[in-house]
Structure formats: C-alpha cells, structure tokens
Amino acid sequence: MKRGQIYFHLHLVSDSTGETLLTVGRAAAARYENIAPIEHVYPLVRSPRHLDRVIADIEAAPGIVLYTLIDREIADRLETACREANVPCVNVLDPVVDLMRSYLNLPATGKAGAQHALDADYFKRIDALNFSLMHDDGQLPENIEDADIVLVGISRTSKTPTSIYLANRGVRTTNLPLVPGIPVPDRLLKAERPLVVGLIASPERIMHIRQNRLLSINAADQDTPYVDKTAIAQEIAYSRRLCGEHGWPMIDVTRRSIEETAAAILALWDQHRYGVGSTRPGFV
C-alpha cells in the first residue's frame, strides 16, 4: 500500500463475469487522487445461497456495492441487506437500460451475461487473438496482407500489448520491429489491405523502459547502445523517416495508455476502411 493513500472496500456483485463492474468501478475511482479501492469481485451470483456468502462478506467489510443482477428477487435481497447494513448500493446498468427502453420503446431481455454469448463476434475475437499471437514481433511476415492492422516501431514502443488489445476488439493485428540498418520486409511496402501505423515515443521513455527490461532479466552488460539515449534518438529518427516516406500515420505513445493508443488506431482504421476523412501521415 502507498503511504498517504486512502483505501475503501468496493464490492462488485455480478451474475456474469464482473468485467463491466470492474471497468466502471476503476474508471470512477480513478477520478479521485490518493484514493484506491480494495476490490471484492463476486462473479456468477445466481443463487440465494451464493448471495448469502456475498452479503456476509459485505457486512464484514462495509464499503460501496455495485451490482449487475438480472434476477429481480436476488437484486432485491441484496438491496435490502445493504440498506439494513447502511451500505450504499447501486445497479450500474439500470439507468442506461431504462434510458434505452424509453427511447426504443422495447423491453430488455433478462439474460445474464448476454454480452458474452458465443456468437460470431466472439469467435471473431478469438480468431484475431490467435492471429496476433502468431504474428507477434515480425513472425510470419509473408502473411502481412491477411492483417487488418500492422504496427511498426522500434523496441519498447508497446507494439505487442497494443496488438493484443486490438485483437480483443476483433482486429487482426501484426507488429514488426524497426531496426536501423535492417530493411523492412518487401511485403510490408507493397501491402494494400492493412492499415500500417507507426508507434514512436520520446528517447527518455524508451531508455527508461529498456533499462528496466535489462534489470528484469539480470543482463550483465548495462552499457549498451540498446539503452544509449543518442542511439535511441537515431532509431526514432529512422522510424519518423520511414513512416513519412510511405505515408504511414504515426502515434506518439509517450504519454498514452494502451487503451488510448488503441482508440486512436481504431479511429484511423475506420478512416482506412470507410474512407471517412483521410489517413494523412502525421501524429495522432
């Protein structure tokens, strides 16, 4: 625990996986400085017996309760227990569902975990994930034309985690490392279908990440061009020139999270697919 930080118990009760509650809870908690939730996640709560255990935990460690429960009887029991324990409790989806019901004039389906159904979108995400793992870090460059997006950049520009995140959105992504003096695959230069995006970062950020990488693997040689700021600056300059020559848009990831980088890439991909605006070279 960090010194000076205030902690509170956050109970997340779901009849599905709890991913929605985790996202909402963390997004809300991030609005407060020096505040951090102690997360208690209860997935697949679909029976009174399971709910009894959840209520016992809430009473033992009072805090805030967020829930998504389709079964009205179980939800009412949870709300009653929270009221009696003087614990704040809210169904995070009800306001949105009610708004949609009012606008669409249609009843909502009462199916827990409906967003996780094994439908075509689900299998599309699995296919994209398999593709991205098989084509990580320059593997199988002959399949570039089968990708939706190709990420290029020097070492430690978050190419792999960004590829995995995009794959979870159903986007087939491959990534290729850029190394000065080593030509990029000819297939990349001739690729027509995929969107090619260059990822760059400041020399200071790259140097810091690479130093930590060497420390994590207990590398004996810490005095190497891999972590030399001047050498890194030259690598970044090479990336800029290459992307500029081929009209590939660039994204500076220095102060971006993986999610923010992926959002910018998906916006460029929409332009690439549908021709909305243009994918001119430059920074996003």
Is 230 known as a binding-site position?
no
**HSE (CB half, 13 Å, CA atoms) of 150?**
28
Q: Beta strand pairing status for 6-14 and 64-68?
A: parallel
CA distance 151 to 137: 10
Neighbours of 127 (CB within 10 A): 13
SS (H, E, C) 157-211: CCHHHHHHHHHCCCCCEEEEECCCCCCCCHHHHHCCCCEEEEEECCHHHHHHHHH
Answer yes or no: is 155 a known binding residue: yes
- How far is the CA of 95 from the CAs of 16, 68, 106, in angstroms? 19, 12, 15
159 is in an annotated binding site: yes
**Please, which residues have CB within 8 angstroms of residue 244's CB and are 6 or more apart in sequence?**
281
Q: Tell me which residue has tokens 């209860």.
A: 42
| Alpha-carbon separation of residue 250 from 1, 49, 200 (angstroms) | 37, 53, 7
DSSP-based three-state secondary structure for 66: strand
160 is in an annotated binding site: yes
**Is 77 annotated to bind ligand?**
no
Q: Is 154 annotated as a binding residue?
A: yes
User: Packing angle between helix 120-134 and helix 159-167, nearest 10 degrees?
Assistant: 160
* Binding-site annotation: residue ranges: 153-160
* Binding-site annotation: residue ranges for ADP: 153-160
